[in-house]
Structure 1
């Protein structure tokens, strides 16, 4: 029964395709009238702007394309502008343009608007760039300003058309660049040696910084730690001997038992 039903549908479908080779056109466009041919729009399937062959001159999307809705206006690709997508948007210039075709190419990174591909073809410079005496847009070095645009614990790094603020080295109090060799002054715990801020080893100072009994000094970057010596532990602010330590001391200090001489 199922096989007969499937065979019937197959024969019906074959006859339908034979009668209407373009089923989409027959059913969606002509019968239920919810579609339009590609390149047309709206209740009357009017041609999109730029023509149904190349809607929006191939540089955008036609509103309602292929449907019975929309108004046929063009939404241009980012490079293009205008009602028919034949003009170039800011940052692009025409390398080809006639009544039916337009090709827009990106300007130099320095240009807001331009007539060609170099920084000398700019009509206006982007923010972060300025026009020099040779009528070329060149980078503004924000880091060269008398007052730095960055915080006191940062240095300024110039980039094309902009700048970034980078953190100074941990050893620095203010800096002019990356690393301990660019410090204006050194943080507490560091000293200037060989024109760079280096760690001060507090544990080697003439006057001991760890003053408790049975305590050792451990140097750290920019500082130090005072910890109880091996065999001792922290208790109520003092270093007291551990049980294991007491046993070790007892083993060392206790004299050996006298031997027994053979008679």
Structure 2
């Protein structure tokens, strides 16, 4: 590709310069002046991979035909190759098309070239202007796409350019580039060994790295102290050991500039900026921690006083142990339980339900409720006074005593007692129920009675079948030893039959 670019640029230097040109993303159009016939115009366009213009739309006409006068070749020859197409234009007026002998001499011709791998525009500085010159020789002041080989010159002052660029494979190469291509873009000469521009003895290489100057201050990248001819740098930069270049100072490494733990330092040329760390968002000029929002169990997150916190759905509250989790919550005597829907269980007046700590599940009319447990009625939860709360309880002491370890009361005058700050009442989750429901007690009693009745009938049946119950242990040395043995159903029937026969023999 470099060889092709070298050939293109060197060849075009000897061509007739174009009057003007314009490039789109896919094609470049150029007007060339010089008396020539149709065949000569066609050959000159084809010398550099182009053709005579076939068609020009309204947009291209506006860029190319303004203030243009004369007759120009374009298009392809007619079938008889005797007559060719041309057009005449007079100072931007309507174009008139003609068919004339191909051997006639006209004022010029229109060429079009494919624009492969074009470059975009170079952002100019605050005061710098950029001039683009296509390899065909025309200046492109209105184009937005530039062909391979285009030279761009960024310049603030007429004496020295700020930089020079060459379009190559959709990218701009900043001078100095390869010395084989237009001497690397150098003003004087290019050193192929070092790949830099060179200047004669006693002359300094300008700060733009392509021009030569006899003023030592012109070599300074930023600024110069005229009395001493010494280079200096703008704020945020420091002078390079070469005495002319300026190197950016990384404030993030040399200084502790971002003091907030939610921020991190990012170095930029000549300065720095503090940005929010991962997990923090910039809101109202401050970095706010939003990491907790991704962990909220109920996917609800709200901002209060500049801080994000999780929220829970109805019937739940944020867990005091984990601010990202939700626990069931009830602030009254009875609340609806949190149940897993199961029609089969609900039909039998049974539910798979859950209640907050300090509440017990209670089913009323096939509806599950959570009823508060009165911990103060269960047992002595507190040494002095107990106050029941929804889902918990709190202890307090009589006058003259202080609460210790949440439920004990200690008098300050007791030996080895060290006064302490008054303890705040602490809500603890209930561990024991305050009552057992009457229905549960009734169910237990009925179950025990059924077991006793079954046991009675079993003993009575055995007594009728065997006559009487004899204890082998009371018969002296003739003690029967019984072993537990796993038996099958058939073995059980056989043993039962043998046992019955034995009882019948004993009756005899």
Same fold (TM over 0.5): no
Larger Rg: 2
The alignment's TM-score, normalised by the length of structure 1, stands at 0.30
